[in-house]
Amino acid sequence: MKTTAVSTRLPEDLAITLDEVCDAMGYKKNRLIEIALREKLEDLLDAQDLNEAVTEETRFSTLDDARAGLLGSD
């Protein structure tokens, strides 16, 4: 897989925690950051899809309204 370098500044406490977690779990920083970023991006895209689906939905019914519609009564 082709890779691209990304540079960013982290708050010192986050950088320290990253070092500690990598040491404890045997990860390299770049691998742990890649895993975390992939998961976060997937979560954000899922949330965006859900938001779009809710926004596009034009009608919502209560359970009682749905039952009444199915039974043919008003």
- Taking only the tens place, the pLDDT of each residue in 36-69 is 999 999 999 999 988 888 777 766 777 888 888 8
* Mean pLDDT, residues 14-26: 97
User: Is residue 4 in some structural domain?
Assistant: no
Residues above pLDDT 70, as percent of the chain? 93
71 domain residue, yes or no? no
Does residue 35 form part of some domain?
yes
Mean pLDDT for the chain overall:
89
Q: Is residue 63 part of a domain?
A: no
| Confidence at residue 74, expressed as pLDDT on a 0 to 100 scale | 52
Give the chain as a DSSP string: -----------HHHHHHHHHHHHHHT--HHHHHHHHHHHHHHHHHHHHHHHHHHHH------HHHHHHHHHT--
